[in-house]
Chains A and B, each alone.
Chain A
């Protein structure tokens, strides 16, 4: 998968736990875990928006393209 989700790096920077983040953005822990382990196939803009808002970052900070 060339698109990599670096969510855990950003979460570590903001010192936020998975359960806290999942509660704040309103998705289940299971789905957040899918996202963090790069098993997801797509991400909704609304989810991305919520993550960026809560972690105070840009989409580029959590998504990375690798060839």
Chain B
């Protein structure tokens, strides 16, 4: 299936990513309000400020991850994905995932929920996967350079 170009899956993915980014920004900006509403509606016994802090620390790296994905996808659309900037983007994704993993490993002692374990699992995979992919891309760039400079 075609990923890039017009009338392909690419446009759909791009729109999804941008929507994710917009919704993400709205949620992060309105976190205090949304959390307040959540507490009122569900009558849950969570501590307000620690929960808010946890959500901020995971929300901002998540937004950065989405932004990096948009950047990488953009270079793919330009048909030139083998760039040093993409290696950096993948590294940033890896670091952000690592931050979220560590954060929820600490938070699991306070938020006793199955979802914390799921989040730890998913972001640990993203952390290691992002790192491996960034190294892979670096090697690919080296090969491409070597190939281009062989005359």
- Could you list which residues of chain A lie within 8 angstroms of chain B, going by C-beta atoms? 27, 31-32, 34-35, 39-44, 47
Number of A-B contacts (CB under 8 A): 23
- Could you list which residues of chain B lie within 8 angstroms of chain A, going by C-beta atoms? 145-146, 149-151
Task: Name which residue of chain B comes closest to A47, CB basis.
Answer: B151
For the complex of A and B, list the 6 residue pairs with the smallest distance between their C-beta atoms, beginning with the closest: A41-B149, A42-B150, A31-B151, A40-B151, A40-B149, A35-B151
Which residue among B145, B146, B150, B151 has the maximum number of chain A CB atoms within 10 Å of its CB? B151
For the complex, would chain B's binding face be called helix, strand, loop or mixed by DSSP majority? Answer: mixed
In angstroms, how far is the closest chain A Cβ from the Cβ of B106?
A: 48
Task: Name which residue of chain A comes closest to B150, CB basis.
Answer: A42
Task: Name which residue of chain A comes closest to B149, CB basis.
Answer: A41
